[in-house]
A and B are shown apart, each in its own frame.
Chain A
Amino acid sequence: MAEKHYGMVIDLDKCTGCQACAVACKMENNVDLGVFWERVYRMGPIGTYPDALEMFYFPNQCMHCENPSCISVCPTKATYQTDDGVVLVDANLCFGCQYCIWACPYEARTLNPNTKTVEKCILCVHRLEKGEQPMCAYTCTTGCRVAGDLNDPDSRVSQILKDNEDRAYRVHPEFGNKPSVVYLLPRKGAETLCRSIGR
């Protein structure tokens, strides 16, 4: 069987923008004030009520790219990828050049002003290795997030992706990063986005 490749699917149809994931992430990983490993953006509203109104929430964190641009630029090799596909930062090596922050197209990294090193989502590897969901997914009030092994066709994440192939979307595929976080597009409320990507 192929090696594990951890990833996540996020159903934008379910996300209500409650921010519980962002708070849970901070608590689980003891993320400093002013530093965010997880953010929830509001897209819209645009258009007019009732028929042409568009708005949805977009939870954003490190996409744990298969081909991460943050790794190739990092001069210290502080940023690295585990055999399971999770992209991590070794805070003992990082010297805070911030080059990776510039190179990441997904706004996933933050310079921690206290530790003076760069931080980002770690996909809660410590929980995944125990067979638990990352804290954001565990806490999500609508169950819109599911993490797991993308290489295992029987995993829940693979099943969800298989059942929702028509809505699966990796943000900015043209950058070639191959994100391991896959979004399921909203069925309603994101018509402009869907049109622009030919869906």
Chain B
Amino acid sequence: MQIHWPLVISTVCQRVGLGLFICAFVGQVYAGSPVPLSVMAWITLALLAVGGIASVFHLQRPQRFFNAFSNLKSHLTQEALITPFLGVALLVCALNGTLFDLGVATAFVGAVTAILAGAFLVCTGLAYQMGSRPAWNTPFVLVLFLLTALEAGAIGVAVLWLAAAGLVPTMFVVIALVSTVVCVIVQAAYVVRMRSVGYGVNVDVMEEPYRGPFVTWLAAGAVVPVVCLALVFVVPSAAVALAAVAWAASAVGIAAWTVLFFKGARKVKMFPMYPVDLNLDM
């Protein structure tokens, strides 16, 4: 399948942004946070705005955007329906503490926003899980959408906490490291699965045109974040820089992974046992 760059950008922004908010909210509930949730909400809103603009560019007739709310069974409609609620909820979280003070309701609004963020990610993940594309015909698709968001979110929270307070609970770096490792393992399983999806469309990531994005993902999405996060324990004086590099690399890794994800989603062949020629040159 050709790469749909606007969708690569929008899904990367969604995962990095929404993952950050969800992890920040959970972190605040369980450990308190030196970074106000409103800061996290602003960052998430900025990333969602970039992603939203990119996804509108994917539409061939963006002026008809409002038609997207028509089919409740479509995961794209579900995504479109969640978007305004999520946007408003994030905006409320972002303005909380400056324009108004939600007081004891802060945790409740944060929880609702985190749930909407999770629901949005689930809808996006499900939208790509389709039978007609053997590489995507697996629950791995949804699981990986959520895991990549968790990975980028956990690293992002560690970076911002370190930058704000100079320290982050060890548990949080461990969570970031473990979620990255788990994510890499599941991504590796997805790659292995692609080798034998059948229908004449098996994908070997060591061959062109998959090799480039695969190697990029391996370096940026797996090796760099894992090494940098591990080094946080070895060289605590460079913790902020190391975590920041891990966060940036993780975002690049998710982008490379998404490119591979699109390239690998080849359409089934009608009859895989025959070489198929489209006879337009006849």
Contacts and interface: CB of A to CB of B under 8 A. Distances in A.
Interface stretch (A92-100, A130-138, A150-158): A92-100
B65 interface: yes
Given A75-B74, A93-B64, A103-B130, A17 B274 contact: no
Contact of B67 (A54, A58, A93, A99): A93
A125 B65 CA distance: 29
Contact of B60 (A54, A69, A95, A171): A95
Contacts of A73: 74-76, 127, 130
A76 to B, nearest CB: 4
Given A19-B282, A93-B67, A44 B274 contact: yes
A105 B60 contact: no
Query: Interface centre among B61, B75, B268, B282, by most A CB within 10 Å?
Result: B61
A17 B132 contact: no
B185 to A, nearest CB: 27
A39 interface: yes
B75 A76 contact: no
A44 B32 CA distance: 66
A175 B199 CA distance: 12
A43 B274 contact: yes
A117 B132 contact: no
Nearest to B59: A95
B271 interface: yes
Contacts of B170: none
Given A58-B271, A74-B71, A102-B130, A97 B277 contact: no
A117 B276 contact: no
A95 B67 CA distance: 8
B279 A41 contact: yes
A77 to B, nearest CB: 4
B1 interface: yes
A193 B1 contact: no
A111 B2 CA distance: 13
B132 A175 contact: yes
Query: Interface centre among A41, A74, A76, A99, by most B CB within 10 Å?
Result: A76
Contacts of B211: none
Contact of B273 (A60, A69, A193): A193
Q: Interface range on chain B: under 10, 10 to 19, 20 to 34, or 35 or more?
A: 35 or more
Nearest to A56: B274
Given A95-B59, A95-B62, A105 B131 contact: yes
Contacts of B80: 75
A72 interface: yes
B282 A75 contact: no
B276 A102 contact: no
B74 A95 contact: no
Nearest to B270: A171
A97 B279 contact: no
Contacts of B1: 102
A164 interface: no
A95 B61 contact: yes
A75 B127 CA distance: 11
A97 B76 contact: yes
Given A44-B274, A78-B67, A97-B59, 20 more contacts: A17-B282, A19-B282, A39-B278, A69-B130, A72-B74, A73-B74, A76-B64, A93-B64, A95-B59, A95-B61, A95-B64, A95-B68, A96-B61, A97-B60, A106-B270, A116-B60, A172-B270, A175-B132, A193-B274, A196-B273
Interface of B: 1, 4, 58-62, 64-65, 67-71, 73-77, 80, 127, 130-133, 265, 267-268, 270-271, 273-280, 282
24 contacts: A19-B282, A39-B278, A41-B270, A41-B277, A42-B276, A46-B275, A69-B131, A72-B74, A75-B71, A75-B80, A76-B64, A76-B67, A94-B64, A95-B62, A96-B60, A96-B61, A97-B59, A99-B74, A99-B127, A102-B133, A103-B130, A104-B132, A105-B132, A172-B270
The 5 closest A-B pairs by CB, nearest first: A96-B60, A116-B60, A76-B67, A75-B76, A95-B64
